[in-house]
Amino acid sequence: MSEDAAVVVRGLTKTYGKVEAVKGVDFEVSPGEVFGFLGPNGAGKTTTISMLCTLANPTGGTASVAGHDVVRERDEVRRNIGLVFQDPTLDGYLTAEQNLRFHAELYGVHKSVVDERIKRVMEMVALWDRKDAKVMTFSGGMKRRLEIARGLLHSPRVLFLDEPTVGLDPQTRSAIWGYINELRVSEDITIFMTTHYMDEAEYCDRIAIIDHGEIVVIDSPERLKASVGKDRVQIHTRDDEAAIKALRERFGLEAAVHEGAVTFAVASGEEFVPRLFAELGMPITSVSVSRPSLDDVFMNYTGSTIRDAESGDDQMAFMRAMARR
Ligand SMILES: Nc1ncnc2c1ncn2[C@@H]1O[C@H](COP(=O)(O)OP(=O)(O)OP(=O)(O)O)[C@@H](O)[C@H]1O
C-alpha cells in the first residue's frame, strides 16, 4: 500500500534530551481510513502527530503525509493537512465566520469558493446559524466543532485530530463523532486521530496502541478484541476473598474485585459458567459474561488499563492479574 498510502512512517523517532518520546515507530494509513492512535498520557501520541504535521522535527526515521516528506517537503505537507489540536487557537474576539475567513486567507483558498466552502463546513458541524456570534460566547463543544470546521476548510487530504473530544461532556463527544463519521463519507478524507478514550477508539477503522513510545499492536478494533480470546466473567458472592481463593485453587484462575464484583478472564466464558457453579464450592448470587472490550485488549498487550497507566488506581491489582494470565 506504500505508494498510495496517506501516511507512511518508518522508524520514526523523537528524543527530548534523555527522554525517548517516540522510539522508532512504523505504520501506514490508507486513504479514507479513520486511524486511531490510542495510548495513556505520555505514551508519545502528541509527539508523533506533531512530527507528522511538521510541527516537530524527527530525531530519526522518516515520515510522509499525502505523498510528501515531513522534513524535506514541509510546505506541501502543510497544504494537504488540517489540524485540530488540544489547545484551541481560535480568536475569541472574532465571529465564527471571521475566524474561518482568516484561515481561508492563510491557506490561500480561492476567493471564488470561499463563501460556499465556509457555509458547507459550518453546516457540517451545525454552526451556520451561529456564524455571526463571537467565538468567546461559544461553549467548549461549539469551539471544538468550529475548530473541526476550520480544519476542513481548505479541503485537506488528511485531517489530524489530537484528542478531539477531550474535556467535553458525553453528549458533545458523541455529536463530534457523528460529524467525524459523516466526514469520511462526504469529504473523501483520511482521518488520523489520537485518543485515550477506549469507547471512542471503537469508531476507528484501525487503531495503533502506543505505550512508552512504542507501537504495541495495530489492527481493527474487532480483530483486536477477537485476538484477546478470553471473556470477562463477573460473579457476586457473599465472600469475595474466599471466592478469589477458590478460583485460584480449583481452576488456576487469577481474579480480583473490580466494579464491585469478583472478576476474571477465561476462554469460552459461557461454557465455563456451569462448571463454575458446580465446582466453586460456594454459593454464587449472580454472574455475567462479557466479550473482551478494548480495555481488555489494552490490558492484554500492555499489562495495564489506560486508566491504570494514567492514575494507578485501585483496579491495578485486577488488571495485573488479568495480564499475567
Ligand atoms: N517539548 C518536550 N520536551 C521534553 N519532553 C517532552 C516534550 N514533549 C513531550 N515530552 C515527553 O515525551 C513523552 C511523550 O509525550 P506526548 O505528549 O507525546 O504523550 P501523549 O501520548 O500525547 O500524552 P497525552 O495523552 O498526555 O497528550 C512524555 O514523556 C513527555 O513528557
CATH of the domain at 293: 3.30.70.250
On the question of pLDDT at 324 being above 80, the answer is: no
- Clarify whether residues 93 and 185 are in a common domain: yes
- Clarify whether residues 266 and 149 are in a common domain: no
Please classify residue 218 by burial: count the beta carbons closer than 10 Å to its beta carbon, then call 0-12 exposed, 13-18 middle and 19+ buried.
buried
User: What phi and psi, each to the nearest 5 degrees, are found at residue 95?
Assistant: -75, 170
Structure pTM?
0.81
Q: pLDDT tier at 318 (50, 70, 90 boundaries)? A: very low
Whole-angstrom Cα distance, residue 284 to residue 264? 14
125 and 166 Cβ atoms separated by less than 8 Å: no
pLDDT in tens, 237-270: 999 999 999 999 999 998 888 878 998 889 888 9
DSSP helix/strand/coil, 8: strand
> 124-153 burial, b for 16+ CB within 10 Å, e for fewer?
bbebbebbeeebeebeebbbbbbbbbbbbb
**The domain that contains 116 carries what CATH number?**
3.40.50.300
Going by alpha carbons, the residue nearest to atom 11 of ligand 1 is: 21
Share of the chain above pLDDT 90, in %: 55
- Clarify whether residues 189 and 273 are in a common domain: no
Rounded to the nearest angstrom, the distance between the alpha carbon of 18 and the centre of ligand 1 is 13
Q: What is the pLDDT of residue 99?
A: 95
On the question of pLDDT at 23 being above 90, the answer is: yes
Reported as type and span, the H/E element at residue 23 is strand 19-29
- Clarify whether residues 182 and 200 are in a common domain: yes
In the predicted model, what is the mean pLDDT of residues 96-103? 94
In the predicted model, what is the mean pLDDT of residues 147-169? 88
Query: CB within 8 A of 241, min separation 6: which ones?
Result: none
- What is the ipTM for the molecules in this complex? 0.95
Final residue belonging to a domain, choices 193, 221, 249: 221
Q: What is the pLDDT of residue 315?
A: 45
On the question of pLDDT at 174 being above 50, the answer is: yes
Final residue belonging to a domain, choices 206, 221, 236: 221
Share of the chain above pLDDT 70, in %: 92
Reported as type and span, the H/E element at residue 158 is strand 158-162
Going by alpha carbons, the residue nearest to atom 18 of ligand 1 is: 44
Instruction: Give the domain extent around 18.
Output: 2-221
Final residue belonging to a domain, choices 221, 237, 265: 221
Rounded to the nearest angstrom, the distance between the alpha carbon of 48 and the centre of ligand 1 is 9
- Clarify whether residues 97 and 137 are in a common domain: yes
Rounded to the nearest angstrom, the distance between the alpha carbon of 300 and the centre of ligand 1 is 24
Rounded to the nearest angstrom, the distance between the alpha carbon of 47 and the centre of ligand 1 is 6
Kindly state the cell numbers that stand for 208. Answer: 495503533
Q: What is the pLDDT of residue 311?
A: 57
Mutating to test ligand 1, I would choose from 46, 162, 193, 306 the residue with most ligand atoms within 8 A of its C-beta, which is 46
Q: What is the DSSP string of 215-245?
A: EEEEE-HHHHHHHH--EEEEEEES-HHHHHH
Radius of gyration of the chain from Cα atoms?
Answer: 23
- Clarify whether residues 158 and 235 are in a common domain: no
Q: What is the pLDDT of residue 325?
A: 45
Going by alpha carbons, the residue nearest to atom 17 of ligand 1 is: 46
Ligand 1 binding residues, C-beta < 6 A: 16, 19, 21, 39, 41-47, 196
Q: What is the pLDDT of residue 76?
A: 94
Rounded to the nearest angstrom, the distance between the alpha carbon of 19 and the centre of ligand 1 is 9
Nearest-atom number in ligand 1 for the CA of 47 is 18
Going by alpha carbons, the residue nearest to atom 2 of ligand 1 is: 16
- Clarify whether residues 73 and 206 are in a common domain: yes
Kindly state the cell numbers that stand for 52. Answer: 507528522
Question: Which of 13-17, 20-24, 250-254, 259-263 bottoms out in mean pLDDT, i.e. has the lowest?
Answer: 259-263
* Single-letter amino acid code for the residue at 151: G
Reported as type and span, the H/E element at residue 270 is helix 269-279
Q: What is the pLDDT of residue 230?
A: 85
168 and 144 Cβ atoms separated by less than 8 Å: yes
- Clarify whether residues 243 and 314 are in a common domain: yes
Rounded to the nearest angstrom, the distance between the alpha carbon of 243 and the centre of ligand 1 is 42
| Residue 42, CA distances (Å) to 48, 52, 57, 67, 202 in order | 11, 17, 18, 29, 21
Q: What is the pLDDT of residue 310?
A: 64
- Clarify whether residues 141 and 256 are in a common domain: no
- Clarify whether residues 269 and 315 are in a common domain: yes
Nearest-atom number in ligand 1 for the CA of 14 is 12
Nearest-atom number in ligand 1 for the CA of 210 is 21
On the question of pLDDT at 63 being above 90, the answer is: yes
DSSP helix/strand/coil, 287: strand
Taken in order 210, 198, 287, 319, the sign of the CA dihedral is positive
- Clarify whether residues 308 and 203 are in a common domain: no
Task: Scan for cell 527530548, then name that residue.
Answer: 16
Rounded to the nearest angstrom, the distance between the alpha carbon of 103 and the centre of ligand 1 is 28
Q: pLDDT tier at 178 (50, 70, 90 boundaries)? A: confident
109 and 117 Cβ atoms separated by less than 8 Å: yes
Give the total number of structural domains in the chain. 2
How many CB atoms sit inside 10 A of residue 12's CB? 24
- Clarify whether residues 92 and 201 are in a common domain: yes
Q: What is the DSSP string of 92-113?
A: TTSBHHHHHHHHHHHTT--HHH
Going by alpha carbons, the residue nearest to atom 1 of ligand 1 is: 16
On the question of pLDDT at 323 being above 70, the answer is: no
Q: Are strands 206-211 and 190-195 parallel, antiparallel or unpaired?
A: unpaired
Which range among 22-26, 118-122, 137-141, 143-147 has the greatest average pLDDT? 22-26
31 and 4 Cβ atoms separated by less than 8 Å: yes
| 222 or 176, greater pLDDT | 222
CA 254, distance to chain mean position in Å, is 29
Q: pLDDT tier at 317 (50, 70, 90 boundaries)? A: very low
